[in-house]
Structure 1
Amino acid sequence: KYRFRKRDKVQFYARKVFRKKQVSMIKEGVSVPEYSRSGRRLDNRERMMILAKRMFSGKKGPSLLQKKELPSVLLEADQEEEQFPNLPEEVMYLLQSVKVFGHFEKGVFLQLCRHMETINLAQGDYLFQVGEEDKWLYVVQEGQVNLYINEGNNEVKLSEITAGESLHSLLSILDVLTEQESWYKTVFARAVKKSIVIRLPANAFSEAFKNRKESLVQIVQVIMTRMQRVTFLALHNYLGLSQELLRPVKIFQFANFPLPMSYLNWWKDTDQLIVEDEAEDGGDKVEEEVTSRIPHSRSQPVIINLIYQRIFPYLPNIPSLYYIFTYLPTNIGLYNEVYSNGRIPGRNRFDSQRSTLLLTTMIMSSTGQYCITMPIASQCPLHHNAHCVSTIVLDIVASDLCQVFGIDDREMLLEHVTLLKVCKGYQLIQEGDQDVSIYFVVMGNLRVAQTLPEVGFDDQRNVTLFEAKPGMLTGQLAVLTGEPSFFDVSALVDSVIARVTRQSFYAMMRRYPHMVLNTAHTVMMRVSPFVRQIDFALDWQMVEAGKALFKQGSRSDCMYIILHGRLRSVYLKSDGKKELVAEYGKGEIVGMTEALKGKSRATSLHAVRDTELAKIPEGLVKHIRRQHPGVVTRLISLMSDKILGNMLSQNRSQSRNTDVLSPKPIMQEESNFAYGDVSNHLANLSTVAILPASSDVPLEKVSMELHHALSGISNQILRLNSDIIIQRLGQNALDSVQEYRLSNWLAHHEDSHRMVLYQTDFTLTPWTQRCIRQADAVLIVALGEGEPKVGKLEAQLEGMAVRALKMLVLLHRPGIERPTQTVDWINNRGWLTEHIHIKCPKRLFGRTRKSRMMEYWEKLVTKPVDKFSDFSRLGRFLTGTSIALVLGGGGARGLSQIGIVQSLQNAGIPVDMIGGTSIGAFMGGLWAAHRNVDTMREKTLILCDDMSSMISKILDLTYPFTSMFSGASFNRAIESIFKDIQIEDLWLPYFTITTDITSSEMRVHTDGWLWRYVRASMSLSGYLPPLCDPKDGHLLMDGGYSNNPTRLASAMCDVARARGACKVIAVDVGAETEVDFTNYGDHLSGWWLLWKRWTGRWTGRIKIPDLNDIQSRLSYISCHHLLEKVIKSDYCFYVRPPIAKYKTLEFHK
């Protein structure tokens, strides 16, 4: 029987062990070197010995961060695929075009298809001309049709409509729905090549919605929402138009009649009582028992509406307010001669006639609440026959509003209408208000205004759009859409108005759905002809998650405004690699520079999640610019903001691919930072999903704590989970048939809140998928003390091809000294873009029943927000309001940075991120690791003792071939202070800057052993040798050589900004720059300098720079102007403590 020899057996098992260990080391990011330090190639035997030493030494090597490129799913758009491959092409195009109206039932869409027609156009044929009836919706199936407008005798191209795009005006479709005829007055369309066009009559919607009133309400709301979001947002916010958008229109003819001065004077005199601390007493006084119940306020007057009610004969309903205003004063005994005297009837006259005086007091407090005081009535047997003026007026107003809304149920309307009197200057609606009511002007004038966007030197910030006079409505657009108000509404004079709240309007609309058409028509009457012109060219576009909006190098003929969702910009390099450039959120404009300059697209753009866009063609911008030259000022302002915002960013990104006018610079090397340019990736977030890594994560408490922390930044924060959704929308809210309803509800709340937190379930439920689908970013929450393995839900998330960037949140108990194994957590999750450590309060880990979670939240909201907590730090990072502290180098002068940190704490200023160079890297590392000033002092004393010890310096002396000292003593001191801490394990995000003399560039370190890179950043040339980077062997020196050794250079602030900081506090501890040098003539002798140094006390001292000083000043020239820009910027706060008397190496003082 054959048997293995011992040598063969040993060799076999050695190879087996070697293979297993090599695989495990590769997984851990550790490999056996192939070359020695001298550069000689190692043979297999030598490599085996190195491996054996590592295996049997008993010391486990450090886990190093594995730099990975972003997953391809984040940088690539999905391939274009047909959603319904079995449908005919014309039906597909029609389906895409009617998506602008929302999601229809299958029966509605099929009924629309029955009215579809196809027309063929030759080159030059007109699709429609001026004067024809505007009643069609067009979709280009093949070819190209251009839209033109007549400007005098010239025709101007507004837009180009190619295959798959639609041509229509939603305002015209609304006219058809409201049975209002409209014609093409200035626009026409012509085929520029042979084309096939699908057309759908607008009245097909009316027929399809005959028995589907809910769909009718939906389409009207969608049209109104688009007009507010797309048309008004684009024209107002980005082109600076306001007064050009609307025109005043009177609804009722009675408003044209001159109202009798008698009535106006009577109403004015009886309703102008305003209680103010500074108001003078005048007119009739109110009884003490009534006035004592009226609150006083210095900031806002308290309006008291006193309606004196007299006994008068019953009057039948008169159909016009004009007659009421004319005859009512005479019938109630208030004669014209009384009003002409400019006073109101006295109390004695009422009492002498034994009439009833009903005193009704309506108080509008500073909180906006109405309080009705009970009427005070004198004894009168005829009290049951009394009718007040307000009742008569309200009855007539209800009749007129029935005509406006198109309903006959006046009794129902009376239940929802309130008659109010407001004083001059009172603001009924503020721009951006959520809860808006409809106001009908009975008497007086209301001012409808709007705030202009910033346009450089223009000081006018608020303009009047029109004045609402008697018979006009205001506020109906915001009520119809449910969006925040687009206008300010205030009283120009003391006015009488009728109010219908949003809740009341919806209650009536549920009973009479056709009300929405009549109300929408009142809005359409105010839209200016200019808006109707451009509505044909201004388009709405929906881009699904993962789909490309445009590709790099394509033609740029339009710009886009993000109404809802998120876009990602990707740059394709010449070597075929893709680079993430930036992300854009709600309200941002993309492609403007390229469209105005006429250049091709510099990058590709695709949707991170479902995104709504407003598309503004280039021709439309030019047309608006000709009609309203003031738009040029606004465009210049927008472009200048982009240029100024990128001048500093260009200095840190030297890539030749940078677009000067792009909103974000293209980074030179993505791997320069641990996670790339975070500010580009995680900026302008609107939605954040919170996902658990394991089942033992207290997810609901975490979301509550984050919600509470965010409330200290903004009061418009919303937290949602599956229980809240079911509670608000019903048990079937998460079913597939309710998808459109849920999407609309979520979109509305995302628009009305600064940020929405989506708390997922612990499994991949429909709600979890919805949260991920809605998220701009995903927070993966895990327990720092647990195993760093990938959880089941995380694995499922990775397989879903989610394009939202993901961030790891590690929770730690309050007693832990510092985190560990962070690198293992990150290496197991190659899809992460950032991580953060959270030291949680003790209450987070306590056991709480699900039924008592609401009690936990109620207790939490009563506590003040702690701005120094880690949850607040996370909240500031998500909202882009982080504060960074960057510390410069200056040797012993850097010890003053301990006092700077202490002062910030005393002033209540949190530090969310820290970085530094040289001594600043050392101090920053101490604070990031311990976050305790006393510990910083203790650790700093160790460094000072080592730097002041002459014995350690003498023992560390070496032959000065590279440096005077070997660096061993300094290494031991730094290593004893930081021990085995890695940068990833620090509590705060940290970076340090060094100079790479191998590749002659600045290096930014955000991972690896902390002590090594602190030591490298403190390596002064000539004193200490360069440190070899364990990653690539490059030689690293003090960061001051690339970042000015005596000043804090602009790169420090740029790196902090790139990592997500909003404000940067820059601390400069460098030596003062000497400018008063001695004039030594045309030549200089070194011997003379040596003599002056010895005898300067008696012969006079001189000031002449040495070699190091000259070299330092030369390097400073290149970054001096950048430093000045950073110091003067609005985000940088420059601090220099009084440390001029201390020298660089005076650590003993």
Structure 2
Amino acid sequence: MDVLELLRASANGYYNIFFSDAWCQYVSKQIQATMYWYGALLVIGVLFIAWFLYFKRLARLRLRDEIARSLSAVTSSSGGDHRGLRFRKRDKMLFYGRRMLRKMKNVSGQMYSSGKGHKRRAVMRFARRILQLQRENRPLEMKTVEPPAEYLEETMEGSERVPPDALYMLQSIRIFGHFEKPIFLKLCKHTQLLQLNAGDYLFKITDPDDSVYIVQSGMINVYICNADGSNLSLKTVRKGESVTSLLSFIDVLSGNPSYYKTVTAKAIEKSTVIRLPMQAFEEVFEENPDVMIRVIQVIMIRLQRVLFTALRNYLGLNAELVQNHMRNKGSSTLPSTVVGPVSSQMSQTSQSMRVQPARTPASPMSRHSREEHTLSDPDPNPNANALLFAEVHGDAPYIDIYHQQQQQQQQHQPGISSAINIPSSRRSSASQHAPSQAESTSANATTTTHAASITNANVNSSPNATPTVTSIDQRLVQSSAVESLRRELGLSEEDAHIIEPVVEVRELEPNVTLITEGNADDVCIWFVMTGTLAVYQSNADATRAAKQERQNDMLIHYVHPGEIVGGLAMLTGEASAYTIKARGNSRVAYIRRVAIYQIMRQRPRIVLDLGNGVVRRLSPLVRQCDYALDWIFLESGRAVYRQDESSDSTYIVLSGRMRSVITHPGGKKEIVGEYGKGDLVGIVEMITETSRTTTVMAVRDSELAKLPEGLFNAIKLRYPIVVTRLISFLSHRFLGSMQTRSGAGGFGAPVEANPVTHKYSTVALVPITDDVPLTPFTYELYHSLCAIGPVLRLTSEVVRKQLGVNIFEAANEYRLTSWLAQQEDRNIITLYQCDSALSPWTQRCMRQADVVLIVGLGERSHLVGKFEREIDKLAMRTQKELVLLYPETTNAKPANTLSWLNARPWVTKHHHVLCVKRIFTRKSQYRINDLYSRVLLSEPNMHSDFSRLARWLTGNSIGLVLGGGGARGAAHIGMLKAIQEAGIPIDMVGGVSIGALMGALWCSERNITTVTQKAREWSKKMTKWFLQLLDLTYPITSMFSGREFNKTIHDTFGDVSIEDLWIPYFTLTTDITASCHRIHTNGE
């Protein structure tokens, strides 16, 4: 039909006004010409299609004929000598495989149920794997690699080998410290071999307690004899274990004979026992006084770390551990000017002093002259003496002279500390480990008498402190104090000149604090001359704030005139375990820690008197526990106990790290938990009397204390309050286990399981390449850690400076190990900065580390070097985390993180760290030390990546989880802004639905302005309804296909993976097929 005619005739010619005849004729001609061209093109197209189909059919026929000829040639060649084309099997499989794959593609668009679709996808994956077909432009994915077998399996090699007799004894006496080979051979000369039949007594009540017993074969039962005649088993001693009391060891060496009062040992079966008399140690100590100091210090340290930690923190015993009145060491009568009331001191100055001998009959060793134990003559350089003392006495690193002198300098120069304006704990650590400027002052200035001052700042600033007595009374009181302390330290009258310059006297009013619990800077030996001191200890269940404010402190005991206090902290070198206050008007004499260490250098024998003073204060309960406790030393990979074994004891981790692994019925192994210093392992199974549910092994070289079941039963019967404590402990453990299992969606985890904690005690820092600024990185991390607590940075140079250039030799193995363990006890975390080569120090760092931080440059190549692979072999069971550094000046963002992680399957976590300019500035070691000596005096930026990493390592990370709610998710932006204004750092983010989007924006940008802008742009895109209408689909599982929504997400973030975000991030989704949740920590 002619359109123009219709237009001309319609509406009675109304359109004639707009369409003229000339114009209509022109349009008609153009349409006719165009139709001719369309017809010609259509004919050409039909001819081309026919030609194409013809040749395609012809090619297919040729291929079929070729295949037929090939098959006929193969058939004929098999029957005769004819040779022709052969259709190889590989070609045949390839041909039919591709044909099958084409058919699968044709049906892939059809709708199948979930089960058939799963099978179809499995067949297609199988076909691609056979035919080696790769998908083009396939995005990089995270490789899921199972941890190596060594990561989850304990070492079995040599665990069942029976060591020789000498090794039995060597392992048993390690509780006294380490002895060099010549000393150990001297001790072996005194050993005796005892043969016991079943029922024979090894020792019984009233027998001398003067030997160390090591069971070579058989079993020995150690039990308590109660007053009513009943017996209660403490522990069963098996092959390789020992029976001894460290407290009795100190009694014997101090010349105080000890006897068994409540403990008896009887053979359960025929047994062979090695007996080592304690008197054998006296000969060794006479020739090696430095060994004696080391042994006493080790005993005191383990007394505090094991007995007090177990009985106080886990069983709730405090005052039960000490006696309110000490056992009499002797009697002393002080002059009335000393023992009278403080108010009458001024009028009683003419009476003479009468002091009776205070020492008990001395041991053969103590009858020798004290001067024979002098190591060397006094050195005119006090600092040299201090450092020499630290080097001569192997574990004398417990006596950190350099650290004490630095603190004394700060005490005498208060302007320095106040000008720094940082916490005291950070001042002490920073002054100790920051690059030194001037390292010494005169020791005389730190040890002279200050009659008007006291070490503790609380006493210095107390308004209640009274002025000291002057004139002749002051001299009389001073001489009385010197004489009393001389006798308490066991010094002869000829040695009075040694302590006379260092004894200080102070008069106190009620409630004046001498030292607070946890303070390691003001440790002194306190001797009460008049009045009474009260010793307090914080409640183990109190919060951190309550402990800092000294709320709910428990009274432990009183210290009366003639008694001494402070010996335990002095010998261990650790912080004070008690708070000491004046109960009323009192007068005390004291000696500072540095002065005591200088006296100890000249007269090593005083450690026995100090140790004996500590032992006399302990209650009989502690002595009974001392018989039952054992110390275990495990190398990396050794098992503490194995799954399905009987549970007759629990363990306390003193140093090192343990890993708990469960083996499922199918043989698959899974990590259940990890335990660090101070954790209790295996207590739930022991109390519930069930077999071990997991295998616990040492991740690195570790030291544990073993508490047998019998000891727990004895304590429960004597102190019923312990039962309440245990019920509370088990309830919290069981509740945490239930929460963990419900969160994991399963109920297969044992009750003993605790989630893997990320609170580490030791961290090793390893560079990937030589150009990594490891020293500045370590300083920055150290700076951030100082805001959390005391921290130590160790390098090979620092260790050699402290312990000598030969410290890494095999002969000094135990000395180095003990010193490092003591440093770990003093600090919440220790940083081990490794060398850039596989040196002995690097190997030591791998053995000591709870976690290894592999530090690299994020903008460099991700290839793995030879040094990295060697590190992985050295520490296969140690957790490793990757740290990538980015310069702040380039505004670079993390990218290609997946390549780094896929190349390092041993890495369990990664961190992106944005570094300030000073880290990448190339400077000499001296200039770096000088720079950071000033940086460490400033406050760290709590929002920096270094602070985030520091909080992760110490288990103090702050997480943010954002919920869903659609448009209500816009409120998340306001909350993020409020959190930033409040100064709260965000260390990790999780989210669901709209919360996942907002959380990912923050992790990617970390700038509230940019996050707000991108969130606004995304919200505007979501308001375009026509785009969402185009996204409608058949409503099987949802109304929309999600393509448009995913496009808006991609437009907002770009090609960014979760691994490339600055802050650790995860999102939560629902699996509607399995009806469970899924946690996503990787992907785009």
TM-score of the superposition, structure 1-length normalised?
0.71
Deviations 1:239-272 (CA, angstroms, capped at 9, x unpaired): 12222222222767665789589952545679xx
Amino acid at match of 2:282: S
Q: 1:52 to 1:857 in 2, by over 3 A?
A: closer
Q: 1:361 to 1:393 in 2, by over 3 A?
A: closer
Amino acid at match of 1:611: S
Q: How does 1:125-204 map to 2 (within 5 A)?
A: 125-151=200-226, 152-204=228-280
Maintained 8 Å contact 2:646/2:690: yes
> Aligned partners of 2:302 and 2:319: how far apart in 1?
19
Q: 1:5 to 1:791 in 2, by over 3 A?
A: farther
Q: 1:101 to 1:911 in 2, by over 3 A?
A: same
- Partner residue in 2 for 1:735: 809
- Partner residue in 1 for 2:104: none
Q: 1:725 to 1:961 in 2, by over 3 A?
A: closer
Residues 1:429 and 2:520 aligned together: no
Q: 1:634 to 1:268 in 2, by over 3 A?
A: farther
RCO higher in structure (CA 8 A, sep ≥6): 2
Q: What is the CA-CA distance between 1:861 and the residue it aligns to?
A: 2.2
Maintained 8 Å contact 1:682/1:878: no
Give % identity.
40
Amino acid at match of 1:632: V
Q: What is the CA-CA distance between 1:118 and the residue it aligns to?
A: 1.4
Amino acid at match of 2:240: G
- Partner residue in 2 for 1:1083: none
- Partner residue in 2 for 1:103: 178
Residues 1:976 and 2:1051 aligned together: yes
> Aligned partners of 2:779 and 2:125: how far apart in 1?
59
Which moves more between the two structures, 985-994 or 814-823?
814-823
Q: How does 1:747-758 map to 2 (within 5 A)?
A: 747-758=821-832
Maintained 8 Å contact 2:338/2:529: no
Q: 1:423 to 1:821 in 2, by over 3 A?
A: same
Q: 1:6 to 1:107 in 2, by over 3 A?
A: same
Q: What is the CA-CA distance between 1:434 and the residue it aligns to?
A: 1.6
Q: 1:901 to 1:367 in 2, by over 3 A?
A: same
- Partner residue in 1 for 2:10: none
> Aligned partners of 1:775 and 1:588: how far apart in 2?
17
Q: 1:7 to 1:896 in 2, by over 3 A?
A: farther
Q: 1:438 to 1:919 in 2, by over 3 A?
A: same
> Aligned partners of 2:205 and 2:129: how far apart in 1?
85
> Aligned partners of 2:819 and 2:129: how far apart in 1?
64
Identify which of 77, 81, 100 aligns with 2:154: 77
Identify which of 409, 412, 415 aligns with 2:501: 415
Maintained 8 Å contact 1:813/1:842: yes
Q: 1:959 to 1:658 in 2, by over 3 A?
A: closer
Amino acid at match of 1:634: R
Maintained 8 Å contact 1:703/1:759: yes
Q: What is the CA-CA distance between 1:769 and the residue it aligns to?
A: 1.4
Q: 1:203 to 1:896 in 2, by over 3 A?
A: same
- Partner residue in 2 for 1:536: 627
Q: What is the CA-CA distance between 1:893 and the residue it aligns to?
A: 1.4
Q: What is the CA-CA distance between 1:572 and the residue it aligns to?
A: 0.8
| SS of residue in 2 equivalent to 1:241 | coil
> Aligned partners of 1:927 and 1:190: how far apart in 2?
68
Identify which of 784, 789, 796 aligns with 2:870: 796
Amino acid at match of 2:475: T
| SS of residue in 2 equivalent to 1:927 | helix
Deviations 1:198-224 (CA, angstroms, capped at 9, x unpaired): 111111111232211111222222222
Q: How does 1:907-986 map to 2 (within 5 A)?
A: 907-960=982-1035, 963-986=1038-1061
| SS of residue in 1 equivalent to 2:700 | strand
Structure 1's unaligned 5+ residue stretches are 19-33, 271-307, 323-358, 372-385, 665-679, 1010-1149
> Aligned partners of 1:46 and 1:873: how far apart in 2?
45
Amino acid at match of 2:928: M
Deviations 1:713-738 (CA, angstroms, capped at 9, x unpaired): 22x11112122222333333333333
> Aligned partners of 1:251 and 1:449: how far apart in 2?
23
Q: 1:195 to 1:891 in 2, by over 3 A?
A: same
Maintained 8 Å contact 2:962/2:972: yes
Q: How does 1:1098-1109 map to 2 (within 5 A)?
A: none
Amino acid at match of 2:151: L
- Partner residue in 2 for 1:625: 716
> Aligned partners of 1:262 and 1:970: how far apart in 2?
87
Maintained 8 Å contact 1:73/1:801: no
Maintained 8 Å contact 1:35/1:41: no
- Partner residue in 2 for 1:645: 736
Residues 1:885 and 2:960 aligned together: yes
| SS of residue in 2 equivalent to 1:531 | helix
Identify which of 278, 283, 304 aligns with 1:228: 304
Q: 1:1005 to 1:52 in 2, by over 3 A?
A: closer
Maintained 8 Å contact 2:764/2:845: yes
> Aligned partners of 2:130 and 2:1051: how far apart in 1?
31
Q: 1:45 to 1:363 in 2, by over 3 A?
A: closer
- Partner residue in 2 for 1:1117: none
Which moves more between the two structures, 704-713 or 243-252?
243-252
Residues 1:62 and 2:139 aligned together: yes
Deviations 1:263-322 (CA, angstroms, capped at 9, x unpaired): 52545679xxxxxxxxxxxxxxxxxxxxxxxxxxxxxxxxxxxxx9x9x9xx99754699
> Aligned partners of 1:95 and 1:475: how far apart in 2?
32
Q: How does 1:451-490 map to 2 (within 5 A)?
A: 451-454=538-541, 461-490=552-581
Maintained 8 Å contact 2:340/2:530: no
Amino acid at match of 2:996: A
Q: 1:208 to 1:974 in 2, by over 3 A?
A: same
- Partner residue in 2 for 1:362: 452
Q: What is the CA-CA distance between 1:930 and the residue it aligns to?
A: 1.7
Maintained 8 Å contact 1:420/1:498: yes
> Aligned partners of 2:606 and 2:247: how far apart in 1?
17
Deviations 1:1047-1078 (CA, angstroms, capped at 9, x unpaired): xxxxxxxxxxxxxxxxxxxxxxxxxxxxxxxx
Q: Which has the higher helix share?
A: 2
Q: 1:787 to 1:395 in 2, by over 3 A?
A: same
- Partner residue in 1 for 2:1083: 1008
Q: What is the CA-CA distance between 1:695 and the residue it aligns to?
A: 0.6
| SS of residue in 1 equivalent to 2:656 | strand
Deviations 1:557-578 (CA, angstroms, capped at 9, x unpaired): 1111112221111111111111
| SS of residue in 1 equivalent to 2:452 | strand
Maintained 8 Å contact 2:234/2:708: yes
Q: What is the CA-CA distance between 1:924 and the residue it aligns to?
A: 1.5
Q: What is the CA-CA distance between 1:684 and the residue it aligns to?
A: 2.5
Q: What is the CA-CA distance between 1:953 and the residue it aligns to?
A: 2.9
| SS of residue in 2 equivalent to 1:210 | helix
| SS of residue in 1 equivalent to 2:318 | coil
Which has the larger Rg?
2
Maintained 8 Å contact 1:108/1:209: no
> Aligned partners of 2:118 and 2:696: how far apart in 1?
47
Q: What is the CA-CA distance between 1:554 and the residue it aligns to?
A: 0.6
Maintained 8 Å contact 1:250/1:471: no
> Aligned partners of 2:126 and 2:654: how far apart in 1?
62
| SS of residue in 2 equivalent to 1:894 | helix
> Aligned partners of 1:803 and 1:474: how far apart in 2?
44
Maintained 8 Å contact 1:234/1:614: no
> Aligned partners of 2:132 and 2:639: how far apart in 1?
51
- Partner residue in 2 for 1:861: 936
| SS of residue in 2 equivalent to 1:781 | strand
Amino acid at match of 2:532: N
- Partner residue in 2 for 1:1021: none
- Partner residue in 1 for 2:836: 762
TM-score of the superposition, structure 2-length normalised?
0.76
Q: What is the CA-CA distance between 1:935 and the residue it aligns to?
A: 2.7
Which moves more between the two structures, 985-994 or 958-967?
958-967
Amino acid at match of 2:487: Q
Q: What is the CA-CA distance between 1:596 and the residue it aligns to?
A: 0.8
> Aligned partners of 1:125 and 1:46: how far apart in 2?
76
> Aligned partners of 1:736 and 1:179: how far apart in 2?
35
Amino acid at match of 1:451: S
Maintained 8 Å contact 1:584/1:684: no
Maintained 8 Å contact 2:942/2:948: yes
- Partner residue in 2 for 1:293: none
Identify which of 878, 881, 894 aligns with 2:969: 894
Q: What is the CA-CA distance between 1:639 and the residue it aligns to?
A: 1.8
Maintained 8 Å contact 1:143/1:162: yes
* Superposition CA RMSD, Å: 3.4
